[in-house]
Amino acid sequence: MVGSNYECIIVGGGIAGLQAAIQLGRYMHKVLVIDNEEGRSNLCRGYHNILGWPDGVSGQTLRELGKKQAKSLEVEFINDKVITAEKQDHQFLLHTNSKREFKTKTLLLATGIKDRIPPIKNIYPCLGISIYVCPDCDGYEVRDKHVLLLGSGKTGASLALTLTYWTNKMTFINHDGEKLSTDLVEKLKEKNIEVINEKIASILTENESDFKGVILQNGQTVAGEKGFIGFGGNAVSSDLGHQLGVERLENKHMLVDARTKETNITNVWAAGDVVAHSEQITIAMADGCQAAIFIHKRLLKS
Ligand SMILES: Cc1cc2nc3c(=O)[nH]c(=O)nc-3n(C[C@H](O)[C@H](O)[C@H](O)COP(=O)(O)OP(=O)(O)OC[C@H]3O[C@@H](n4cnc5c(N)ncnc54)[C@H](O)[C@@H]3O)c2cc1C
């Protein structure tokens, strides 16, 4: 069944998608957001680097507020996963997991990335509260604390080294036991970073989300004040763009025009973490807003 025709469909109702939806709603366009609630913004329990939220705000709160605001502007939402996108005449046809089809004149891909987080007990309630992923976002939160870097190989070791800007009390737990280069081993030694090659079984917490350390698979307990994760292998959700011929970097982030956020495929825009940038909330918002402005300009001409 083909659903209604839209002026814009936004795939991804995370931070970039919601900000774009609000902006497009204010132009009174017919807009649909298709989202399957599996974003990074579904995971993070506390953002601390956003203007107006000095005590932090959770991804869930931001998403609820954004959705409410967009809905008040007549933007429509459905919970589903878009699995294919194709160009048909002057429109795009999208197929979803639940076998629905939608048509749209313009398309915004705000599908984000997916962090690789191994199955470690108790990890999720700590994300953004006492275990962090991004040094630019949360290096400040761990200043002078004993940090356990829960990671893997080169990615984990490099993140541990980056974090020495904020703290010199650091232990790197190399979860997958991936061999480190001699150069990295030397650098870690120079910074007095202890390396433990052992799988992490669970996170030790107090009050569900306060990190206190980890229990390793060999039964050993390692205490720490804060955690950081860097397992590598994050997946960029740019398959739909690829199906349409959108240009991507080798790491699968999509390329867009710096000003308009339009991709190399006319009438296809991309915003947020799926685009090559520093993967932050405020940048995702700016991308979404900027894309929406140029989508509006295009719709005026159609
Ligand atoms: C633990 C953690 C802590 C973080 N802390 C900070 C911080 O302190 N400060 C900061 O600035 N940033 C932080 N970030 C990064 C921040 O969350 C991201 O930059 C932001 O969420 C990007 O927004 P987005 O809209 O691009 O992607 P997302 O928020 O990930 O949203 C993408 C949406 O697209 C949906 N989607 C994907 N594919 C499809 C599909 N095919 N069909 C339908 N829906 C689809 C997903 O389900 C998801 O809802 C953190 C991230 C994590 C994981």
Per-domain residue ranges of the chain: 2-115+234-301, 124-230
- For ligand 1, whether the C-beta of 209 sits within 6 Å is no
Residue 53 CA to ligand 1 center (angstroms) comes to: 18
Average pLDDT rounded to a whole number, residues 9-14:
98
Does any ligand 1 atom lie closer than 6 A to the CB of residue 280?
yes
Please give the pLDDT value at position 2: 52
Given a cut of 80, whether residue 113 has pLDDT beyond it is: yes
Answer CATH for 2-115+234-301 from 3.40.50.1010, 1.10.579.10, 1.10.3720.10, 3.50.50.60 = 3.50.50.60
- Tell me whether domains 2-115+234-301 and 124-230 share a fold: yes
Model pLDDT, residue 3: 60
If you average pLDDT over every residue of the chain, what do you get?
Answer: 97
Instruction: Name the residue of 9, 23, 44, 53 whose CB sits within 8 Å of the most ligand 1 atoms, as the mutation to test its pocket.
Output: 44
Residue 9: band (very low, low, confident or very high) from pLDDT cuts 50, 70, 90: very high
| C-alpha separations of 279 from 201, 276, 298 in Å | 28, 8, 27
DSSP codes, 214-275: EEETTS-EEE-SEEEEE----EE--HHHHHHT--B-TT-PBP--TTT-B-SSTTEEE-GGGB
Tokens 């999208």 correspond to what residue? Answer: 94
Mind listing the pLDDT tens digit for each residue in 54-84?
Answer: 999 999 999 999 999 999 999 999 999 999 9
| Overall pTM surpassing 0.95 (yes/no) | yes
- Domain range 124-230, CATH architecture: 3-Layer(bba) Sandwich (3.50)
Task: Report, as an integer, the average pLDDT of 100-108.
Answer: 97
